[in-house]
Amino acid sequence: MLSEDQIQCSICLDVFTEPVSTPCGHNFCRACLTTFWDSSSTCQCPLCKKEFPKRPELCVNTFISGLILQFKESLQIKSSSPSKKSTAEHVNVPCDVCIDPKKEAFKSCLDCGMSFCEAHLEPHKTAAKLKKHKLINPVTNLDDYICQKHERAVELYCRDDQTCVCLFCTETDHKGHNTVLIEEESRQRKALIKETQTRIQQMIPERMQKIEDFKHSADLKKVSFR
């Protein structure tokens, strides 16, 4: 999980707003850096003091903006009450075969496009053809897991179009595209997120030291102006 310190501007000491990067690789809020340069006779980095011959053109750092978005989303998830979270995790999905009273579904079948209670799921455990069907935990939005064009389970992820597809899609609209199993794409994305988080965690001590150095420098300037 990201912490606020990891995405904090060293000038305003708050979460970045429109984060921009200097040529030396340091990041600040666009407004903070612009104000700093406007009030200084030289154009230099507030942290490392590297001077630039002319004021660099500032572009929003999309990577850091993405991290900030993740951070804010994580805060929203944390702020959700436990009761709301448990309600969202457990959704009562009715069995599509049962006649009133309907029992709660035990599994949803992507090949059948239906949800089954334990009793009506029994054929999927005994019939040879049904054993090959793909079962998942019961969901209410089963259509989202099925290709609406070919009415088959989506099992692949198209990296070219960044969407989930079924096997038939790779022979039509997505023929020749770079496709992998959804599980493989999920593993790679989780590994990438973990790697990014580890790298950011390793940067924290250095960033914190630079923030302290900047604070100390700012305090010295305040004293000299008195």
- For strands 163-165 and 19-21, give the pairing: unpaired
- pTM for the model: 0.43
Which CATH superfamily does the domain covering 1-90 fall into?
Answer: Zinc/RING finger domain, C3HC4 (zinc finger) (3.30.40.10)
Domain extent listing, the chain = 1-90, 92-139, 148-226
User: Model confidence over 144-160: pLDDT tens digits?
Assistant: 777 878 877 778 888 88
1-90 and 148-226 share one CATH topology? no
Average pLDDT, the chain: 77
Question: Is 148-226 CATH 3.30.160.60?
Answer: yes
Task: Give the number of other Cβ atoms within 10 Å of residue 142's Cβ.
Answer: 19
Burial 92-110 (b: 16+ CB within 10 A, else e): ebbbbbbeeeeeebbbbbb
Instruction: Compute the distance between CA of residue 98 and CA of residue 105 in angstroms, rounded to an integer.
Output: 9
pLDDT of residue 86: 40
> Over the stretch 61-106, which tens digit does the pLDDT of each residue have?
877 777 777 776 666 555 544 444 443 445 688 998 998 788 888 8
3-class SS letters over the chain = CCCHHHHECCCCCCECCCEEECCCCCEEEHHHHHHHHHCCCCCECCCCCCECCCCCCCCECHHHHHHHHHHHHHHHHHHCCHHHHHHHHCCCCECCCCCCCCCECCEEECCCCEEECCCCCCHHHHCHHHHCCCEECCCCCHHHHEECCCCEECCEEECCCCEEECCHHHHCCCCCCCEEEHHHHHHHHHHHHHHHHHHHHHHHHHHHHHHHHHHHHHHHHHHHHC
Mean per-residue pLDDT for 49-56?
Answer: 88
Report residue 196 as tokens.
């990014």
When mean pLDDT is compared over 38-42, 69-73, 92-96, 138-142, the highest value belongs to: 92-96
Q: Computed over its alpha carbons, how large is the radius of gyration of the chain?
A: 27
